[in-house]
Copies of this chain bind each other. A is one copy, B any other.
Amino acid sequence: MPHAPSRQDALDSIIRRLGHSFEGEIRIGGNYVSVVHEGHTAWVSGQVPRVGDSVVVTGRVGRDVTLAQARHAAEICTVRALLLLRQSLGSLDAVSRVLRVGVFTQCEADFTQLSEVADAASDLLHAVFGEAGRHARTSVGVYQLPKNASVELEMTVATADR
């Protein structure tokens, strides 16, 4: 009987579909960190759709950027968050539950499909974690994001005993 794909396999498959390379350690500068792990909770800093040194989806959704492109951006943000969690926790299997996801979309004044952008992130989390990936979520449309990114995503997860 074939066994279920591991979370890592599921993530690798998603990364192949997205068509970007996420090789190498993800570094962030400044006096903050990408993941804080304290007790049984880990907080991931807001992620923009950066690949290597470039933010690959920039501009205002509903004017410069389509819904499909914004969803792609949300997927890249989510992949980055998962890679950072894996880097911090050692394995995605250390995640016992995705607790909360915040999705910020830099949008045009009349762009109201913010849930549809965030759904791409939620679907990806479900593909990787199954039921443990079903999270509380807040989606809002903001005026501007760092480096003109079209989407930013933050995540809080529960971790297993260590």
Contact = CB atoms under 8 A, between A and B. Distances in A.
Q: How many copies does the complex hold?
A: 3
Interface string A140-153: 11111111100010
A32 B143 contact: no
B107 A144 contact: yes
A25 interface: no
Interface in A69-85: none
A38 to B, nearest CB: 5
* Candidate in A110, A140, A142 with the most chain B CB atoms within 10 angstroms: A140
A104 B145 CA distance: 10
B115 A147 contact: yes
Contacts of A146: 112-115, 139-140
Interface string A24-40: 00000011111110111
Interface size class, chain A: 35 or more
Nearest to A105: B144
B148 A32 contact: no
A88 to B, nearest CB: 10
18 contacts: A31-B122, A31-B125, A31-B134, A32-B101, A32-B122, A32-B137, A36-B99, A38-B99, A43-B99, A44-B136, A46-B140, A104-B140, A109-B143, A112-B147, A112-B148, A136-B154, A139-B146, A142-B142
